[in-house]
Amino acid sequence: MKSVAFLASGDTQMLRASLNFGLHSLQHRGQEGAGIVSNDAGKLNGHRGLGLLSEVFKNERQLSRLTGQAAIGHVRYATAGTSSVDNIQPFLFNFYDGAFALAHNGNLTNAKSLRKELEIDGAIFHSNSDTEILMHLIRRSQKETLCERMKEALNTVKGGFAYLMLTEDSMVAALDPNGFRPLSIGQMVNGAYVVASETCALEVVGAKFIQDVNPGEIITINDEGLKVESFTENTQHAICSMEYIYFARPDSNIAGVNVHSARKNMGRILANEAEIEADMVVGVPNSSLSAASGYAEESGIPYEMGLVKNQYVARTFIQPTQELREQGVRMKLSAVRGVVEGKRVIMVDDSIVRGTTSRRIVNLLKEAGAKEVHVRIASPPLRYPCFYGIDIQTRKELIAANHSIEEIREMIGADSLSFLSEDGLINAIGLDFDAPYSGLCMAYFNGDYPTPLYDYEEHYQATLKEKISFY
């Protein structure tokens, strides 16, 4: 389940404002569904549905009845489970001894085997999402306190996860031992706490950043304040490099590194690694604009607005089907003929996954009269699937896993094609953790996964022998 969660605490009026503005600032992370659960003096109420936040909460009454002093919210981008309202989070559980709400960002690599064990033992699941597994594990734990039961459950699940749980008297945040997905904590002027997948949400609601949730930590927020504990000491940073490359907003900071600055550095290094004579640099809106500006500055080639995005079209990468992704590209981008006609253009993009988007954009530029189109990608070739929260789980979906760079160049119709090196990416982001790749997960590029793959291992090994033609 690749998704995002947002959590706030305060009075009812502040709660509604925080949820509205905070979740909207995170809409880029998931567009398939949304939900909110609030806590009003120990009574948990929720609403969820398919679509964007504006669609799910288009009726003001749906939001107005979510009263209270605390809430968790979620926007969904599915990597596990079908696109059904049953899989929309937060999940709300009503037990004889209390109510709980749970939201999850990430993907569990041992979900299939855990679910089988739980079902054999009598568990009944209401969704086919991997998120529900954690609650079953918590309820089956024999530990005395909720915190101890959560610790046991968190040591049982594997993979990438950032969890937020709302109880009748507290809110709990937890991050996997590698910190694949970001999770940050802020504090409002009145002392209320906010936890969000990106720091941009903290800024929007007027919360001051106070700390990141670190790998292996479990954080409890209640009337007594904020308490930090660890559920494991076996931790090692492996932050998802795609957070910096594509997913996160440029105004967010991840592990102290500003996303815009990291992307600009990617462009600068790419300009030195892949020089080419041209008349202008054009960035693909929006996630590539920072890298394009860095490339232009370093190369001395003017930056121009050669592509215009329709801001009212959703992100295409996280659309659930290939057909929708391609349709989205046609709808969202237009080339500016008056800028690119007769010119040699360097088109800077953040990544190439399937190649369909790149081919379409190159065609747009050439149809608008561009003399040459040189494609520069501000990340290394994506050759391996992700099992920690990105919807790329087979090598069949990755053009660079099946074709050489020259073949990709021919397929997308570019006059030249170059990618950022792995070392270039690591240096551009500039993390300094005592961990492989300075604390980044680079598995998408080199196949060096920081954890065992558990349920995915057998199928993954089989796919390494496959070669799929994209021609």
The enclosing domain of 155 has a CATH number of: 3.60.20.10
More confident residue, 20 or 2: 20
Token pair for 463: 């796919």
Q: What's this model's pTM, rounded to 2 decimal places? A: 0.93
Kindly report the CATH number assigned to the domain that includes residue 394: 3.40.50.2020
One domain, residues 227 and 266: no
Verify that 423 and 352 share a domain, yes or no: yes
- 106 touches 41 (CB < 8 A): no
The number of beta carbons lying within 10 Å of the beta carbon of residue 191 is 9
Is 359 a domain residue? yes
Q: Is residue 468 part of a domain?
A: no
pLDDT of the residue at 377: 98
Helix (H) or strand (E) holding 154: helix 146-156
Strand 43-50 relative to strand 91-95, pairing: unpaired
Rounded mean pLDDT, 269-285: 97
φ, ψ dihedrals at 13, nearest 5°: -60, -45
Task: At 314, list the tokens.
Answer: 């959703």
Q: Tell me: the pLDDT tens digits for 450-464?
A: 999 999 999 999 888
Look at residue 4 and tell me whether its pLDDT is greater than 80.
no
Grouping H, G, I as helix, E, B as strand and the rest as coil, residue 239 is strand
Q: What domain range includes position 281?
A: 260-442+452-463
In tens, the pLDDT along 152-202 reads: 999 999 999 999 999 999 999 999 999 999 999 999 998 999 999 999 999
Domain match, 298 and 226 both? no
How many Cβ atoms from other residues are within 10 Å of residue 457's Cβ?
13
Q: Which amino acid is at 221?
A: I
Name the helix (H) or strand (E) containing 373.
Answer: strand 372-377
pLDDT computed for residue 7 by the predictor: 64
* Residue 160 DSSP code: E
Over residues 337-350, the pLDDT tens digits come to: 999 999 999 999 99
**Pair 284, 358 in one domain:** yes
Number of domains in the chain: 2
Interacting residues of 334 by C-beta distance below 8 A, sequence separation 6+: 307, 308, 310, 364
Between 29-33, 207-211, 436-440, the lowest mean confidence (pLDDT) is in: 29-33
Secondary structure (DSSP) of 386-450: --SSSS--SGGG-HHHHS-HHHHHHHHT-SEEEE--HHHHHHHH----SSGGGGEE-HHHH---S
Structure tokens at 376: 């520069």
Q: Kindly state whether residues 148 and 287 are assigned to the same domain.
A: no
